[in-house]
Amino acid sequence: MSQSPLLLSVDNLATHFFSQEGILEAVDGVSFDIHAGEALGIAGESGCGKSVTAQSILRIVPKNGKIVTGAISLLQNGESVDLVQLDDRGQEIREIRGGEIAMVFQEPMAAFSMVYTIGNQITEVIRLHQKCSQDEARERAIEMLQRVGMPIPEQTIDAYPFALSGGMRQRAMIAMALSCHPSLLIADEPTTAVDVTIQAQVLELMKDLQRDMGMALIVITHDLAVISELCDRVMIMYLGKDVESAPADVIFRDPKHPYTVGLLRSVPELGEGHTQELDPISGSVPSPYRRPAGCPFHPRCPEFIPDVCDVELPPQIELTGGHRVRCHLYVQD
Amino acid sequence: MWSFILRRILLMVPTLLVVSVISFAIIEAPPGDYMDSYVNALLQQQEAVDPAEIESLRKRYGLDAPTYVRYFRWLGNIMQGNLGRSLEWNQPVTKLIADRLPWSLAISVASFFLAYALAIPIGFYSATRQYSIGDYVFTLIGFIGLATPNFLLALLILWYYFVATGNVAVGLFSNEYLVAPWSFAKFIDLLKHLWLPALVVGTAGTAGLIRVMRANLLDELERPYVMVARSKGLSETKLLFKYPFRIAMNPVASTIGWTLPTLVNGELLASLVLGLPTIAPLFVGALLSQDMFLAGSVVMVLSTLTLVGTLLSDIVLAWLDPRIRGAI
């Protein structure tokens, strides 16, 4: 894995939303790297800034949001482009969107427009990025639908999204995202809105496609099972900060940050019997408008060190084997 | 799509029947009949009234028959294209309406297009540049337009037109075209006069439509599918028109149905102030003198127009949104 080139490097990204209630620091200093063909999982509770991180990469943050600091370097045709510096309506970023980096959204019901056939919406992105005729685009769309396991793709392509089931819509969504063979696919909660049996199929499908097409993958989820299924590396986010990141097997075996430890403990395990006691993290996520000083997790942390954690933001500490953690417990002096 | 249109047309038949009952009931609602108001008019002019003559007239026009008999007689005539005779004008109703309906329609259609041609682009601008100076300016103008009564606007425009040109802008044609046969020049002359009543009638509707368009589009702009379209690399303009705009047009299109009759209502004051030979003043006169054949026919014609408007808006809606095509 380490031999493959660095595809995307996010460095100290901060995206804030400006509204009448104040400034919401949705993403506040997040750094991570993705190599070609690698799968990264970004996990955390709702509102921790996972989705906004993804939207920042594509520069499609909703209108009150703004990237305030940081750099996002994408390796494109052997050259590095800083996506933050591009005009968010310009030609360059539009060629990257859907072409180099594609995205699968959470709710397939709302993500497709109901007034055009899925074929119309898929061929649109093909024709935008690959110079080809309408007929060719249609053929490629059918091929892609076939590939994601859509039943009778020659007919389904002319179906309106409201006529399809949730699982079929999510397949169509994946087909649309992959139709231009992106080098990076961002999947924002790809299995949240579909039922459990479909979830397994969608995960299986994404795993196969990632392997076959050799693309990199960012999976955004609050479901740690999805990550263990799909990802090579994991980044845990809490209140807009990257608290810990490590190879997937390491993080499940040897979590370092108290938040990660708590997160893993709150997941029920199969085979533990029905008397298994869950151990939820105490307290709740504070309002993002009133972010705690110092380490954002300190009010809920069982290992809280007074006068340290509530004062100073912990630095990112590099442990062995690509394991990084942002916690005062691991500061060595 | 064709079966959708056919179904809608078939559904209009029972609706029209119900409308005919309601129209008839409305006309019958005030006490007395045409003969009573005729007698009143004669008495006011200090003329002698012979009760026997009135009774025989009443018999001749069938005004003495029970209500349901008169309803079916009226309906039967309408089916044959005979709308009856206006008692007040002593002319066939068909002729009276045919003389005036085209002008009403011309004003309605002109103000309709004026309203949509102004409201849709302005609403679009206001929504995509929410809280910009332009948005505030249009909002202000919109509220002023909404709040100004039609007749006041008509008077103001009349006065301004007179001050500016020295002419009195009334009627639908210049003098030289009044009796001239139809020609392109006459048509141009009509357009020159038509904008004024169209503006008067259409202002309030335009202001309302701007608000509807702006609110709809603002809602749609927040939808996930817009972000999805953006994530595919579409240019902002293309994306706006293809996705949220089309859906935002949906409620705007559904207003076509009720825009037609409101325009006819709105046309009344404008016509009275500007002295135009349209349906509305005729209708008011017929109601005042209880000229039931004329009043009833006008109600029927306006209701039919409303139904046609609804049909048109349904067809536009079905074209805009495929989900509607399957519905009745």
Would you say residue A324 lies in a domain? yes
Would you say residue B228 lies in a domain? yes
Among A15-19, A91-95, B157-161, B318-322, whose mean pLDDT is lowest?
B157-161
B322/A115 touch (CB, cutoff 8 Å), yes or no: yes
Residues A132 and A141: their CA atoms lie apart, in Å, by: 12
C-beta atoms surrounding B325 within 10 Å: 14
Would you say residue A236 lies in a domain? yes
A89/B235 touch (CB, cutoff 8 Å), yes or no: yes
Would you say residue B1 lies in a domain? no
3-state secondary structure chain A: CCCCCEEEEEEEEEEEEEECCEEEEEEEEEEEEEECCCEEEEECCCCCCHHHHHHHHHCCCCCCEEEEEEEEEEEECCEEEEHHHCCCCCHHHHHHECCCEEEECCCHHHHCCCCCCHHHHHHHHHHHHCCCCHHHHHHHHHHHHHHCCCCCHHHHCCCCHHHCCHHHHHHHHHHHHHCCCCCEEEEECCCCCCCHHHHHHHHHHHHHHHHHHCCEEEEEECCHHHHHHHCCEEEEEECCEEEEEEEHHHHHHCCCCHHHHHHHHCCCCCCCCCCCCCCCCCCCCCCCCCCCCCCCCHHHCCCCCCCCCCCCCCCEEECCCCCEEECHHHCCC
Choose among A103, A112, A129: nearest Cβ to B231: A103
Choose among B225, B233, B246: nearest Cβ to A129: B233
Chain A residues near residue B224 by CB distance under 8 angstroms = 105-107, 110-111
Q: How many domains does chain A have?
A: 1
Q: What percent of chain B has pLDDT over 90?
A: 14
With tokens 């003198």, the residue in question is B289
Instruction: Examine the pLDDT at B129 and tell me if it is beyond 80.
Output: yes
Residue of B116, B103, B61, B68 whose CA lies nearest to B85: B61
Phi/psi-derived region of residue B180, left when phi > 0, alpha when psi is between -120 and 50, beta in every other case: beta
The arithmetic mean of pLDDT across residues A237-243, rounded, is 92
Q: Which residues of A touch B (CB under 8 A)?
A: 55, 58, 60, 62, 89, 94-99, 102-103, 105-107, 110-116, 124-125, 128-129, 160, 162, 176
Q: What is the DSSP letter of B171?
A: S
Would you say residue A161 lies in a domain? no
B224/A95 touch (CB, cutoff 8 Å), yes or no: no
Would you say residue A74 lies in a domain? yes
Two structure tokens written together for A61: 């943050």
How much is the pLDDT for B47? 75
How much is the pLDDT for B135? 93
Tell me if A147 sits within 8 A of A156, measured CB to CB.
Answer: no
For residue B134, the enclosing domain spans 99-289
Residues A245 and A281: their CA atoms lie apart, in Å, by: 19
- In angstroms, the separation between the Cα of residue A212 and the nearest Cα of chain B is 22
Chain A residues near residue B216 by CB distance under 8 angstroms = none
How much is the pLDDT for B261? 67
Choose among A112, A115, A128: nearest Cβ to B234: A128
pLDDT digits (tens, 9 = 90+) for A196-206: 888 888 888 88
- In angstroms, the separation between the Cα of residue B325 and the nearest Cα of chain A is 11
Q: Which residues of B touch A (CB under 8 A)?
A: 222-225, 227-236, 242-243, 246-247, 320-323
CA distances to A234, B81, B141 from A184, in Å: 16, 70, 49
Domain of B229: which CATH number? 1.10.3720.10
B230/A60 touch (CB, cutoff 8 Å), yes or no: yes
Q: Within 13 Å and on the Cβ side, how many CA atoms surround B184?
A: 0
Average pLDDT, chain B: 83
- In angstroms, the separation between the Cα of residue A58 and the nearest Cα of chain B is 7
Would you say residue B189 lies in a domain? yes
Residues A40 and A247: their CA atoms lie apart, in Å, by: 9
The interface pTM score, or ipTM, of the predicted complex is 0.88
How much is the pLDDT for A277? 74
Would you say residue A193 lies in a domain? no
The gap between the terminal CA atoms of chain A, to the nearest Å, is: 32
pLDDT digits (tens, 9 = 90+) for B169-218: 566 777 777 777 778 888 888 887 788 888 888 887 888 889 889 999 99
How much is the pLDDT for A333? 64
Would you say residue B19 lies in a domain? no
The arithmetic mean of pLDDT across residues B27-33, rounded, is 73
Choose among B223, B233, B321: nearest Cβ to A95: B233
For residue A243, the enclosing domain spans 1-41+51-90+223-266+286-332
A113/B235 touch (CB, cutoff 8 Å), yes or no: no
Chain A residues near residue B129 by CB distance under 8 angstroms = none
Residues A325 and A275: their CA atoms lie apart, in Å, by: 33
Chain A residues near residue B231 by CB distance under 8 angstroms = 58, 60, 97-98, 102-103, 105
Tell me if A221 sits within 8 A of A193, measured CB to CB.
Answer: no
Chain B residues near residue A100 by CB distance under 8 angstroms = none
Chain A residues near residue B128 by CB distance under 8 angstroms = none
Choose among B231, B242, B323: nearest Cβ to A97: B231
Instruction: Determine the residue among A115, A129, A170 to mutate to test chain B binding: the one whose Cβ has the most chain B Cβ atoms within 10 Å.
Output: A115
Would you say residue A246 lies in a domain? yes
pLDDT digits (tens, 9 = 90+) for A26-78: 999 899 999 999 999 999 888 889 999 999 999 999 988 999 999 999 998 88
Would you say residue B243 lies in a domain? yes
B45 backbone dihedrals φ, ψ, rounded to 5°? -90, 15
Chain B residues near residue A116 by CB distance under 8 angstroms = 242
- What residues contact residue A7 under an 8 Å CB cut-off, 6+ apart? A34, A35, A36, A38, A74, A75, A183, A184, A216
B233/A97 touch (CB, cutoff 8 Å), yes or no: yes
- In angstroms, the separation between the Cα of residue A196 and the nearest Cα of chain B is 23
Instruction: Examine the pLDDT at A1 and tell me if it is beyond 60.
Output: no
Q: How many domains does chain B have?
A: 1
pLDDT digits (tens, 9 = 90+) for B34-53: 777 777 777 777 777 778 88
Tell me if A173 sits within 8 A of A105, measured CB to CB.
Answer: yes
pLDDT digits (tens, 9 = 90+) for A267-305: 777 666 667 777 788 888 888 788 888 899 999 999 899
Would you say residue A60 lies in a domain? yes
pLDDT digits (tens, 9 = 90+) for B246-257: 988 888 888 777
Would you say residue B184 lies in a domain? yes
B232/A107 touch (CB, cutoff 8 Å), yes or no: no
Confidence label for B328 from pLDDT (cuts 50, 70 and 90): low
Domain of A236: which CATH number? 3.40.50.300
Would you say residue B92 lies in a domain? no
**How many A/B residue pairs have CB atoms within 8 Å?**
67
Would you say residue B47 lies in a domain? no
Would you say residue A317 lies in a domain? yes
